[in-house]
Structure 1
Amino acid sequence: MKKLNLISCLFFLTAFVNAQELQSFIEEAIQNNPEVQSFDIKYAIAEEKIKEANWLPNTEFSLGYFVSEPETRVGAQRARIGVKQMLPWFGTLTARENYATSMADAEYVEIAISKRKLALSVSQSYYRLYAIRAKQEVLEENIRLLNTYERLALTSVEVGKASAVDVLRLQIRQNEMQQKKEVLEEEYSAEQTVFNNLLNTDKNALVTIPTEMNIPEIDPINTLDGLALNPELLKYDKLYESVAQSELLNQREGLPMIGFGVDYLPVSERTDAFPSDNGKDILMPMVSVSIPIFNNRYKSISKQNELRQQEINLQKDERLNVLESALSKAVSQRNQSRIAYNTQEQNLKQAKDAEQILIKNYETGTIDFNDVLDIQELQLKFELNQVESIQIYYIQSVLINYLVN
């Protein structure tokens, strides 16, 4: 069931675009990421502590030699050899195992949280890489468009319908775009390193990303009900249970301990008389009870456990508020990105219509290259904003799915 929940989480995180490629990246990250591996080791240690819980106090062995041998009717006692074993009260060992198991369960939830956070980080970095590459393609397309306008301007200069200043303006704009493109290349290189480090692989390894993405017409349905099952909240339930098991263990440890043992005393034979059982060794079984009369320690631990449970409940409530706020903000930003995307789509269509009008004006010899630059700048702005909206949409979508699935 635990594995099924994790697989379901990863499915929802990658259910949008190019899910198969992103899913493979996430699986590789979970397999190789050092942080996840460290949580796996912590869980293995916690499981090992379950075996450790089944322990008994050390067996006591004693050996004494009588310097001055006490005389008895059957002879002098020469030494005392003893062995003793204390045993905890009934149910104490089971209480220890239950407590250790509850701590292991809490560690397992930490593994689930780390894997979900890693999947979220990989997905968000993946979409940032897409956005950077898409912006570069937009700039490249606009540079080619400006090259076309530059040729038109040169032709217009030759016939006296444009000035050399118009050509220089177009060239300056191309230089600015080339600069932005090179800056984006640096950003892509840095983000690629971040992505590959999440996968714990070669930082220069090439990352396959989609060439085109769009915002779907309908958003996935998400409800607040799933928020209650988020591992970040389930962690507090497991911690609460571990404190409850700690209290049960504390109550058991506050009960008496029973000891069983035996003493063996070798006896020398008497030479001055010959009583019955002369020189017979003594074997003395013993039973002892250890009673915690001064038990303020156990009362204090019980009070600490009670306070600890109150603390955990408050921490859970606080974390729930944080997650609800994050969910509300993510949903709002995803909705805003859809609104912005649709607006940019409409603006982009109108900018292209204006561009066509300018091209027709060129054919009639009345083109104004200042208008060309203005329209081109608007078109570039709309296209870049559209890419940004797509990035925000998917980054917020994977965050929403992290919170509620």
Structure 2
Amino acid sequence: MKKLLTLAILWASVGHFALSQNLDEYLVRAAENNPELKAYYNEYLAATEIGNQVSLPNPELQVGFYFRPMERFMGNQQADIRLMQMFPWFGMLKAQESEADQMALARYQLFLDAKNNLFFQVKTTWYALAELEQEIRITEENLEILRKYERMALIRFENSSSSAEGPSSTPMAPSSSSSVSAGSAGMNTMGNQTQGMSSQANSSAMTSPAAMGSTGPGMTDVLRIRLQINTLDNELDLLNANKIPLQVELNKLMNSPREAQLSNPEPLLPFVMNLEKQAILDSISANNPMLAMYDAELLALESQKQMAKLDGRPMLGAGVNYMPFQPRIEDGMSMGGKDMIMPMVTVTLPIYRKKTTAKIKETELRQEAVQFNKENTLNQLEIEWAKAFRDLEDANRKVRLYEQQLDLANQNLSLLLTAYATSGQDFEEVLRAQQLILDYEFSKIGAITRQYTSLAMLDMLSATGIQPYSK
């Protein structure tokens, strides 16, 4: 059964867009092992067996024996055996087979809809994990930057408070972090000044301000940095904790142990797509499994309506009556004893039309109900289609916005770092600029994740497979 399910999944997933080998692997594992999906597939297989149950009514065999032979002119009758086969009106069996096939097709469409929903859950969970991984990476990079800021502020404070040396400006060494890449130019201009610092200065940079026994104005910069470091450390712990429920969810969607090892998601890259809204909507109307299920139910009800009409027609029966006789002695002569075979024909008389009329009316009302359900489902799908496109377009705009904001914020940080290196002032503005970059990085990652989630929603609704491509 697992092989049949896998073949059905692969056939039903033609056109699915691939983002990574790991995601494709998890989709296949979820399709093969998810209990809910297996239940839907078994219900479909059970429905296919209904068509095999369509057949003629079972023949009827009646056998009667006489305890005392019945005396007749033909002899003594010992038994009466009748065999009868009833036949429904012409077209009834075909209508029953059609109804069973359409109901099985409706079950298969339910299975496909469950498969699409399962794939959507796997994708969104995977994207959420990828978003968390990128947020953790950026947070760790920003923590490293803040620690460099801390060392820079401590060195500046130590130099400014030393009686042996005059005021000096000691800038921070350049950072390789992507979040301040645009500001690296200003930092590189100061890099040569820090190369000559002794190891004693580096070790004193980590000295506690309390141990140094000073409360000079420069220590406020160090304390501000440490406040942000503590905050980021706490946020990093929270991000790592948030991975656990997502990993459990993904494993359970694949029916795997909750502690099963998962591959690290690849970073999500922004993509550009030119999607025709009307084309996607037309694809939803043509390919969505729920709409196809209602179409199959309508055809099944049409067959039921035909069956109700044919049920009001007579049923024909053909059979044979066999009567064995035993010879009887009368006046010393053998009388009779020849068995008799009598062909028989039976016809039912459907004179009670109220039952037939009610069945036809019931089927017509059910057809109207299914039609209304299909119309309502199409309306809901259009609403989801509009929301998904709105979210996708909004995410596209946000990605462009945050990319522009990051460029400007990095330029601003570079200028602030240069100003602080020369004057030692506005360090609080440097920290604010660094936090602003972190916020924009997080917002950009969230917008990219919404791009993929919205695209996954459109793919689930249209059931066609939409291939994104990166910038």
Asked if TM exceeds 0.5, the reply is yes
1:288 aligns with 2:346: yes
Q: Show the counterpart of 2:5.
A: none
Q: AA paired with 2:268?
A: M
User: Partners of 2:153 and 2:135 in 1: how far apart?
Assistant: 26
Conserved 8 A contact 2:131-2:267: no
The reply to whether residue 181 of structure 1 matches residue 236 of structure 2 is yes
Aligned to 2:345, what secondary structure does the other structure show?
strand
- Displacement of 1:180 after TM fit? 1.1
1:303 to 361, 381, 384: 361
* C-alpha separation in 2, matches of 1:286 and 1:273: 36
CA drift of 1:275 comes to: 7.3
Residues 396 and 272 of structure 1, relative CA distance in 2, 3 Å threshold = same
User: 1:4-403 counterparts in 2 under 5 A?
Assistant: 6-11=12-17, 14=18, 18-53=19-54, 55-67=55-67, 69-158=69-158, 159-160=160-161, 162-222=217-277, 223=279, 224-229=281-286, 230-273=288-331, 278-403=336-461
CA contact 1:344–1:383 (8 Å) conserved in 2: yes
Please state whether the residue corresponding to 1:207 is helix, strand or coil: coil
Closer/same/farther in 2, CA of residues 198 and 299 from structure 1, 3 Å limit:
same
TM-aligned CA deviation for residue 5 of structure 1: 7.1
* Counterpart residue type for residue 261 of structure 1: G
Give, as a single letter, the amino acid of the residue that structure 2 aligns with 1:46: A
Mapped to 2, the partners of 1:322 and 1:314 lie a distance apart of 12
Report how far residue 396 of structure 1 moved: 0.4
Contact 1:156–1:162 under 8 Å retained in 2: no
Q: Deviations over 1:332-371 (max 9, x none)?
A: 1111112112221122122212221222123213232321
Is the alpha carbon distance of 1:121 and 1:3 closer, same or farther for their aligned partners in structure 2, counting shifts above 3 Å? closer
CA–CA separation in structure 2 for the residues paired with 1:65 and 1:136: 90
For 1:208 and 1:351, the matched residues in 2 are separated by 34
CA contact (8 A) 1:76 1:267 kept: yes
Ranges in structure 1 where 5+ consecutive residues have no aligned partner: none
Question: 2: CA distance between counterparts of 1:144 and 1:110?
Answer: 51
Shift of 1:308: 0.9
Residue deviations 1:163-211 (CA, integer Å, cap 9, x gap)? 3333222112111111111111121111111112222223333333444
Letter in 1 for 2:32: Q
Q: 1:231 to 1:167 in 2, by over 3 A?
A: same
The number of aligned residues is 398
Name the SS of the counterpart of 2:326 in structure 1: coil
Pairwise CA distance, 1:243:
0.7
> Which deviates more from structure 2 when the two are superposed, residues 323-332 or residues 169-178?
169-178
Specify the SS of the correspondent of 2:325.
Answer: coil
Alpha-carbon separation, structure 1, partners of 2:455 and 2:324: 82
Q: CA deviation at 1:67?
A: 4.9
Distance 2:299 2:265 in 1: 45
Q: How far apart are the structure 2 equivalents of 1:219 and 1:207?
A: 33
Deviation at 1:323, TM superposition (A): 0.8
Sort the Cα spacing of 1:362 and 1:74 in 2 relative to 1 into closer, same or farther, 3 A. Answer: closer
Q: Would the alpha carbon gap of residues 278 and 217 (structure 1) be closer, same or farther in structure 2, given more than 3 Å must change? A: closer
Stretch of structure 1 that moved more, 220-229 or 235-244? 220-229
Q: Is the 8 A contact 1:134 1:211 kept in 2?
A: no
| In 1, Cα distance between equivalents of 2:401 and 2:454 | 19
**8 Å contact from structure 1 (residues 40, 111) kept in 2:** yes
Structure 1 residue 212 displacement after superposition: 2.9
Per the alignment, in what secondary structure is the counterpart of residue 379 of structure 2? helix
- Give the residue type in structure 1 aligned to 2:380: V
Q: Distance in 1 between matches of 2:323 and 2:292?
A: 60
* Superposition deviation, residue 133 in structure 1: 0.8
Distance 1:45 1:217 in 2: 44
Name the CA distance, whole Å, in 2 between partners of 1:126 and 1:242: 39
Deviates more, 1:43-52 or 1:209-218: 209-218
Q: Please identify runs of 4+ aligned residues in structure 1 that moved more than 6 A.
A: 2-5
Could you tell me the percent identity over the aligned residues?
Answer: 30
Aligned equivalents of 2:79 and 2:265: distance in 1?
A: 87
Secondary structure class of the residue paired with 2:85: strand
Q: Distance in 1 between matches of 2:15 and 2:361?
A: 38
**Taking structure 1 as reference, are residues 277 and 86 closer, same or farther at Cα in structure 2, changes over 3 Å only?**
farther
Tell me whether 103-112 or 138-147 shows the greater mean CA deviation.
103-112
- Deviation (angstroms), 1:46: 1.3
One-letter code aligned to 2:94: T
Q: Distance in 2 between matches of 1:220 and 1:334?
A: 10
Mapped partners of 2:333, 2:425: distance in 1: 139
The whole-number CA distance in structure 2 between the counterparts of 1:121 and 1:176 is 32
Kindly state the Cα deviation for residue 390 of structure 1 after the two structures are TM-superposed. 0.6
Output one character per residue of 1:37-96: Cα deviation in whole Å (capped at 9) or x when no partner. 22221121111111111x222322222233565432233333322222222222222221
1:219-252: CA deviation from partner (whole Å, max 9, x where unpaired):
4444221121222211111111111111122222
The runs of 5 or more residues in structure 2 that have no matched partner are 1-7, 162-215, 465-471
How far apart are residue 329 of structure 1 and its match? Answer: 0.8
Structure 2 distance, partners of 1:297, 1:338, is 61
- 1:383 Cα deviation from its structure 2 partner: 0.8
**Separation in 1 of the partners of 2:15 and 2:360?**
38
Q: 2:416 is paired with a residue of what secondary structure?
A: helix
Q: CA RMSD in A?
A: 2.2
Q: 1:169 to 1:363 in 2, by over 3 A?
A: closer
- SS in structure 2 at match of 1:353: helix
TM-score (norm 2): 0.79
